[in-house]
Amino acid sequence: MSTTQEQEVGAARRRKEDAHLITGQTTWTDNIQLPGTVHAALLRSPMAHARIRVDVSAARDEPGVVAAYSGADLADELAGLPSAWQVTPDWVAPEHKPLAVDEARYAGDAIAVVVADTRAHAVDALDAIEVDYEPLPVVLDMEQAMADGSPLVHTDAGTNVCFRYADTFGDLDAAFADAPVRIRRRFVQQRLVACAMEPRSVLVAPVPAAGEYTVWSSTQIPHFVRLFLAMLSGVPESRIRVIAPDVGGGFGSKLDIYAEELLAFTLAKKLGRPVKWTETRSEAFQATVHGRDQIQDLELAADADGRIRGLRVDLLADMGAYLQLLTPAIPLLGRAMFPGIYKMDAYRFGCVGVFTDKTPTDAYRGAGRPEATFAIERMLDELAAELHVDPLEMRRRNWIGHEEFPYTQIAGLTYDSGNYEAATARATELFDYDGLRAEQARRREEHDPVQLGIGVSTYTEMCGLAPSRWLGERGYAGGGWEAATVRVLPTGKVEAVIGTSPHGQGHVTTFSQLVADTLGVPFDDVEVIHGDTAAAPAGLDTYGSRSLAVGGVAVWRAAQRVLGKAKTLAAHLLEVSEDDLEFSGGNFAVRGTPGAAKSIQEVAFAAFAAHSMPDGMEPTLSADFVLEPDDFSFPHGTHLCAVEVDTETGRVEIRSYVAVDDVGKVVNPMIVEGQVHGGLAQGIAQALHEVARYDADGNLTTGTMVDYTPPTAADLPSFVLDRTETPSTTNPLGVKGVGEAGTIASTPAVVNAVVDALRPFGVVDVPMPCTPENVWRALHEAQGGAA
């Protein structure tokens, strides 16, 4: 008993990752220097749609150039890039070559590559490439793209429609027929750019004589990169090792198989030398996948008291010019989330995926769920305003009561657990909801040029991607399990090998805490090994708030297996029955016999020496676990935002922001808070600041940090955070997920606040981002002014 240590799970442990990150001892892919490396630079189309004829021969004569190729030169050697989620049987999935062969389809589409001894030489030589661009008609707007006679992004496809999907639950006609209240709105989820701090980078080192390749890539998904490089190149998977070293953020944008990865691999194979490519920030804006970009047509039917009867959702989702790994699936990941936390009689979801001459879209923090949450939370506020009911009261009238869990909602998802009442009560208290409402009334009465608005978001989201069968039923090519190995080394130190691949989240710390508690070893004795297919061969990587809820459970299960084996061995060594042993603080002690005990470290050494093992027990103390998740988990929370809106200039200032999240059991509260902070920043960025804008010719006009305006700390308020804790019932740890919650919850909270401030002026919506200009224009238009 004397060696019992404090509980690790629940402790705000400092992150093990940070010391090397903040002292610059990092291994970003671009930092890796291998002798003989050559550097690739890409020529990208400046036109959004053009027939191209590319002649690279002059570039080959430039200083330092080793090779130069057009798309046509490599057409036979480069396979098309994969899209792994066939959302409908008749989807249109046009060929997507890493280098465009005869047509460029967005500004930034790569059309040629130069390889040189230095990066500077490679970039210089791009100027020597001769290209004939024959402009083709450009289509940028989804509704125009669907109209008859529209120019086509892919002529051969004969259509700009990628897929049409629809689902209806319940009796929609009955729900809408003679409903006393019907509200229709159109919301636009603007296009966003992830802006990960570290740009993409890839380095491929071949061993030509052995036909082996080591690939370093700034990716969220080293295991998928390995799989797809093998499938696309024909090189056996067993001869490809993929390493995701330190990765500086992804937010979904590095959940992809990129042209440059396949290109670098192919060039390394062709040239027999290490090939490196690192993205510039300008390229990151143009050629790394974008997020969101949906037009949402919504209609809600309700009773006179606000009880929701039905919801109709029709989406147009912009695919961009090509399908990347998960492009068409992203809007459909929101399919079942539009009902939010509310009960209703009927629900319809429809979605059309549309091609345009823009950068492809794909996952971006939340991936389909933020769009859904925004829509339903905005609609709840509209319903409340229509019926002159407080928006929190409107939610109470419709939400699932805490006694009703598990609750199968209208779209068929079973919410495991939750307590919306508790989170909301705590949030309103921290926020001083009533006090702010009183101040709002006063400012309205006084015609204060600076008005106060209060926004509510009572979100839920779906974490823990995903039961493999669920994925298979929906057309996804892969599974959703996760793998882990835990081994206690002869010295008693522990290695946890994980299949998820962190890029900022803090897995090393969190998983150390889980393992330390389970095995009763010190936190610092646990090493977490990840992001290298040679060291951690099995895994499905990190996205969809799955790492703890799926990967963490796998680690815990593997540790439990180790513990079980250790106990059997300890009993054998102590010559007692397992039932006589009590495990605590890392010690197996014989009950009632003081002094008769073995520590887990002693057991580990005994397992290594293997001098005396029970019959049939394998030496060493190690175990694997591959976890297939039972179901999703559904974190939730109540976010309240107060904004001050300067009605003269349109400027919005966030005055206070309270987030009470329920992410189930918390392993490390500091990491949870960090995830919420970052998530809020990104969600607020969508609400107020960011948009990828194109001009009429299809040029990205917000292609720098200066123009795209991601917020800095100076633009954000101090957040007030708290939690309620309702354990998940779909996994034994009771954990949910927190990676995306802040982003999902905050965008509607902020926009609801902006609209709330302006309702007395007749404003019912402000298009995102609610920049000063958009706010001013909405005000101006509501008051009948020509803006």
Partner 1 sequence: MIPVAFEYTRPSTVEDAVAVLAADPDAKVLAGGQSLLPVLRLRLAAPSTLVDLRDVESLHGVRVADGELVIGAMTTHAEILHDRRVAEHAPLIAAATATVGDRQVRHLGTFGGSLSHADPAGDLPAVALALSATMVAVGPGGRREIPAADFFVDYLTTALAPDEILAEVRVPDTAGWGYRYEKFSRMAQAWAVVAVAALVRRADGGVADTRVALTSMASRPVRATAVEQALTGTDGDSGAITAAAGHADEGTEPPDDVNGAADYRAHLARVLTRRALTAAAGA
Task: Name the residues that contact partner 1, by CB under 8 A.
Answer: 119-120, 123-124, 280, 282, 648-649, 651, 689, 693, 701-702, 706-707, 709, 711-712, 714-715, 771-773, 776-777, 787
Name the minimum Å distance from CB 128 to partner 1: 13
Q: Which CB, 632 or 776, lies closer to partner 1? A: 776
CA distance 769 to 652: 11
Residue number, 404 or 707, with CB nearest to partner 1: 707
Closest to 536 (Cα-Cα) out of 221, 229, 247: 221
Query: 51 vs 693, which CB is nearer to partner 1?
Result: 693
Task: Give whole-number Cα distances, 13 to 36, 246, 495, 668, 715, in Å.
Answer: 42, 20, 18, 7, 28
Measured from the CB atom, is 120 or 441 closer to partner 1? 120
Query: Beta 346-355 vs 308-320: how paired, if at all?
Result: parallel
Q: Which is nearer to partner 1, 451 or 771 (CB)?
A: 771
Cβ at position 691, least distance to partner 1 in Å? 9
CB of 719 to partner 1, least distance (A): 16
Pick between residue 238 and residue 649 the one whose CB is nearest to partner 1. 649
- Tell me whether residue 112 or residue 559 sits nearer to partner 1 (CB atom): 112
Q: Which residue has the tokens 């006063």?
A: 442
Sign of CA dihedral 257, 258, 264, 269: positive
Complex with partner 1: residue 228 or 708, whichever CB lies closer: 708
Q: Whole-angstrom Cα distance, residue 616 to residue 79?
A: 49
CB of 708 to partner 1, least distance (A): 9
Pairing status of strand 652-662 against strand 636-646 = antiparallel
Query: DSSP character for 289?
Result: P
Q: Which amino acid is residue 433, in one-letter code?
A: Y
Which of 396, 689 has the CB closer to partner 1? 689
Nearer to partner 1 by Cβ, of 97 and 651: the residue is: 651
The nearest distance, CB 773 to partner 1, in angstroms, is: 5
Q: Is the CB of 33 or the CB of 712 nearer to partner 1?
A: 712
Q: Could you give the 3-state DSSP secondary structure of residue 268?
A: helix
- Among the listed residues 595, 508, 500, the one whose alpha carbon sits nearest the alpha carbon of residue 554: 500
Least distance (Å) between residue 651 CB and partner 1: 8
- Cβ distance to partner 1 smaller for residue 3 or 704: 704
In whole angstroms, how close is the CB of 113 to partner 1 at the nearest point?
16
- Minimum distance from residue 123 beta carbon to partner 1 (Å): 5
**Alpha-carbon distances, residue 750 vs 230, 336, 455 (angstroms):** 45, 23, 6
Let me know: does 744 contact 459? Beta carbons within 8 Å.
Answer: yes
For β-strands 65-70 and 597-599, DSSP reports them as unpaired
* For partner 1, the closer CB: 393 or 773: 773
Minimal distance, residue 62 CB to partner 1, in Å: 12
Cβ pair 119, 278 in contact under 8 A: yes
Alpha-helical segments (H) within 338-467: 369-386, 391-398, 420-431, 433-445
List helix spans (H) across 584-739.
600-609, 669-688, 705-708
**Cβ at position 709, least distance to partner 1 in Å:** 5
Distance separating alpha carbons of residues 11 and 16, to the nearest angstrom: 14
Q: Which is nearer to partner 1, 188 or 670 (CB)?
A: 188
H/E element, 472? helix 468-473
What does the DSSP 8-state code read for residue 732?
T
Between 77 and 648, name the residue whose CB sits nearer to partner 1. Answer: 648
Minimum CB separation of residue 119 from partner 1 in Å reads: 6
Q: In angstroms, what CA-CA distances link 578 with 556, 558, 566, 571, 581?
A: 21, 20, 10, 5, 5
Smallest gap, in angstroms, from Cβ of residue 713 to partner 1? Answer: 9
CB 705 to partner 1: min, Å: 10
Strand partners, 633: 463
Q: Please, which residue, 46 or 80, has the CB nearer to partner 1?
A: 46
Tokens, residue 588 = 């197996």
Residue 39: CB minimum distance to partner 1, A: 10
DSSP per-residue string spanning 2-64 = TT-----TT--PPPTTHHHHHTT----GGG---TT-EEEEEEE-SSSSEEEEEE-GGGGGSTT
Place of tokens 């859904």: 372
**Shortest distance in whole angstroms from residue 439 CB to partner 1:** 23
Shorter beta-carbon distance to partner 1: residue 118 or 584: 118
Nearest to 260 by CA among 83, 120, 98: 98
Least distance from partner 1 to the Cβ atom of residue 684, Å: 12
Are 271 and 82 a contacting pair, CB within 8 Å?
A: no
Q: DSSP per residue over 298-363, as a string?
A: EEEEE-TT--EEEEEEEEEEEEESS--SSTTHHHHHTTTTTTTTB--SEEEEEEEEEE-SSPPB--
Q: CB 190 → partner 1: shortest distance, Å? A: 13
**How buried is residue 516: exposed, middle or buried, by Cβ count under 10 Å (0-12/13-18/19+)?**
buried
Closest by Cα among 677, 743, 682, 685 to 709? 685
- Counting every residue written for the chain, the total comes to 787
